[in-house]
Amino acid sequence: MTRESRSEVSWPDDGRRSSAAQPWASIAHSLRWLCLRSTLLLTIVSALGLSGAAVAGGLEYRIEGVSKAVHANIRAHLGNNPGTELAAERFITTLEARAGKALEALGIYQYTLSVVVDREAEPWGVTLEVTHEAPLRYREVIATIDGPGAGDPALLSVIDTHSPKTGDDAHHGHYERLKTELTRTARERGYFDARFTRSELRVDVAGGFAEVEYRFTSGERARFGETTADSEILSEELLDALLPYQPGAPYLQSHLLELRARLLRLGFFTSVVVVPDIVGRVEGTVPIAVELISAPRHSYELGLGYSTDIRQRVSLLWQSPRLNRFGHSQQTRLSYSPINPEARFIYSIPLDHPANDLLQLGARIEQNEFGDIESQQRELSIGRERKRGVQVSRLSFRALDERWDIIDEGFDATYLLAGASLSRRSRKGNVVDPDSGVSQFYELEAGAAGLGSDQDLVRFNTQLLGITRLGRKSRLVGRLSAGILWSGAERSLALPPSLSFFAGGDNSIRGYAYQSVGPDITASSRDGEPRSLVVGGTRLLSTSLEYQHYVKDSWRAAVFVDAGDAFNGSDMDPKVGVGVGLHYLSPLGALRVEIANPVTESGGDWRLHINIGAEL
């Protein structure tokens, strides 16, 4: 039975309210307005109340009776605590099924689950108690590769490394891992049609064992086809020189990654995408498309620096990494410091390899202070520089014109020098703060009177540096510099200072000023007073040993001893400096603040040395 209650307010037929009815109508209208708004308010409050109940609902669960590994796998299958009552009910309903899958994935097929639910708690509490037998073990594992890939060492290595072994727990993750790794490796090596014709995991719970069988068919291995790029951006000759593979060679994805890295290292491009057309391969060959976006033709860098050797330095670097599609480039650097202002220009032309084999044309104007001599140098050079891994070799010819003054006497010399240099640098760990490493540099130059040089000259010098860790908190750094010069000059003063040897400074014998160590001569000034001047030597030998201890991750303290001399003949008089330092490891390299004392000189003053940069 349905009952309906309804009230109406009637108005006169003429559309006018009677004076008697008007007050009652106004009262009814107000009551109806209040009822409507009360209903709306109650609806909002009820909604808020329900919303609050939903937020306060849900459950928290615990897992008991299992190891950490089993606990983690069950939790991974169950997920986070549900946050609503509806989700909590659904969680409880599926809890045992999902926990069972988690156990079976670990090879555990004999188990008992006990679930206790506390609906009086807020939120609800659920305890899952698990007891189980030992996991099943693999009794037999069969893994075979059919097709041309059957003898591929990389595919066989994946099976050796990732295939479950007889006696292992029947862990489903290990079973799937082999399938994933074998498929990935096959694709990386060009077996694009490879597939599993069989992959079975058979379980005998009563017998307590499992068996697994894989059968993988590789299909034919693809080969590299033609590699193309926009010839307006990169010439075919330059691209061919960069290829780490030949057309027709077996496909290998790592070669494409190497090609991309080589193109990026050129500095010619802001974006490099190497795309194999796997779908469009013809008769097993894969065309390779290289998509390039050119970098700006020119870039400019302003640099500021300071060291106690050369004081403050301001530099401007202008680079043009790609002047044309043949890969020509230029680099111009202007720098000023009170000790060593210079301008340097290098124009590079790729030869056999655009990044690792360059013909370089250079020009240099430089002023420098060597001991008590101020020198101005002008130089033109041509050289071929080759890089191979961590090794850089260079063959060069340079024409050097140098002028210098000693007291009132001026000197100038011209040399045409043929030279060869070799450098190697390797390190482990952080670039700014390597754990270990070795840096080697060797250089030999020679010139002959009658072949563009004022005197016969042969010059050799080497610089070695090594770093090794002494435990987690300490490092040992060693350095050695050596050089020898043979010359036909009758007076040592007639040797250009830039070719002679000096010692002292931040990277030599600390405690002594920059290039202040060398043979002394006595000369008379214009007023007739004798003066002792430091000039260059024909021999150099200096060494350093430094112990560094880390006081924090970015700070280390150092103690060191430096010794050596620049001298003529056998007149070596070793100078020794000792000191301490504090180093801050900035993103640009170690900021080294050090004080050192020349202990071989009585009453020698402590000298401050400040430098920044990576050691290797």
Q: What is the pLDDT of residues 258-274, one digit of tens each?
A: 999 989 988 888 899 99
CA 326 to chain centre: 29
- Rounded to 10 degrees, what is the CA torsion of 369, 370, 376, 379? -120
Q: Determine how β-strand 124-132 pairs with β-strand 59-64.
A: parallel
**DSSP helix/strand/coil, 310:** coil
- Rounded to 10 degrees, what is the CA torsion of 349, 354, 357, 363? 30
Tokens of 313: 């330095």
The reply to whether omega before 135 is within 30° of 0 (cis) is: no
**DSSP helix/strand/coil, 98:** helix
pLDDT of residue 265: 85
Q: Residue 536 — very low, low, confident or very high, per pLDDT cuts 50/70/90? A: confident
Please report, as a single letter, which amino acid is at residue 57.
G
pLDDT of residue 525: 66
Mean pLDDT of 404-412: 83
**What structural domains and CATH numbers belong to the chain?**
59-132 (3.10.20.310), 137-217 (3.10.20.310), 223-294 (3.10.20.310), 391-613 (2.40.160.50)
E runs forming strands in 42-149: 59-64, 111-118, 124-132, 137-146
- 2-16, 185-199, 534-548, range with the lowest pLDDT: 2-16
In this prediction the pTM is 0.65
Angle between helices 172-188 and 153-162 (to 10 degrees): 170
pLDDT of residue 20: 35
Q: Residue 103 — very low, low, confident or very high, per pLDDT cuts 50/70/90? A: very high
Asked whether residue 51 carries a pLDDT value surpassing 60, the answer given is: no
- 26-30, 427-431, 517-521, range with the lowest pLDDT: 26-30
Q: Residue 174 — very low, low, confident or very high, per pLDDT cuts 50/70/90? A: confident
pLDDT of residue 33: 39
Of 446 and 327, which is predicted with more confidence?
Answer: 446
pLDDT of residue 24: 33
What is the share, in percent, of the chain residues with pLDDT greater than 70?
89
pLDDT in tens, 237-266: 889 989 999 999 999 999 999 999 989 988
Distance CA 185, CA 162 (A): 12
Residue 350, class by beta-carbon neighbours within 10 Å (0-12 exposed, 13-18 middle, 19+ buried)? buried
Mean pLDDT of 343-355: 91
Q: Report, in this order, helix, strand and coil percent for the chain, each rounded to 5.
A: 20, 50, 30
pLDDT of residue 563: 96
What is the share, in percent, of the chain residues with pLDDT greater than 90?
57
Distance CA 466, CA 362 (A): 31
Asked whether residue 377 carries a pLDDT value surpassing 70, the answer given is: yes
Asked whether residue 17 carries a pLDDT value surpassing 70, the answer given is: no
Asked whether residue 26 carries a pLDDT value surpassing 60, the answer given is: no
Asked whether residue 540 carries a pLDDT value surpassing 50, the answer given is: yes
pLDDT of residue 526: 65
Distance CA 516, CA 505 (A): 8
pLDDT of residue 266: 85
Q: Residue 5 — very low, low, confident or very high, per pLDDT cuts 50/70/90? A: very low
Residue 276, class by beta-carbon neighbours within 10 Å (0-12 exposed, 13-18 middle, 19+ buried)? buried
pLDDT of residue 216: 94
Asked whether residue 571 carries a pLDDT value surpassing 60, the answer given is: yes
How far lies 294's CA from each of 237, 244, 349, in Å?
A: 18, 22, 18
pLDDT in tens, 141-171: 889 999 999 999 999 999 988 888 888 888 8
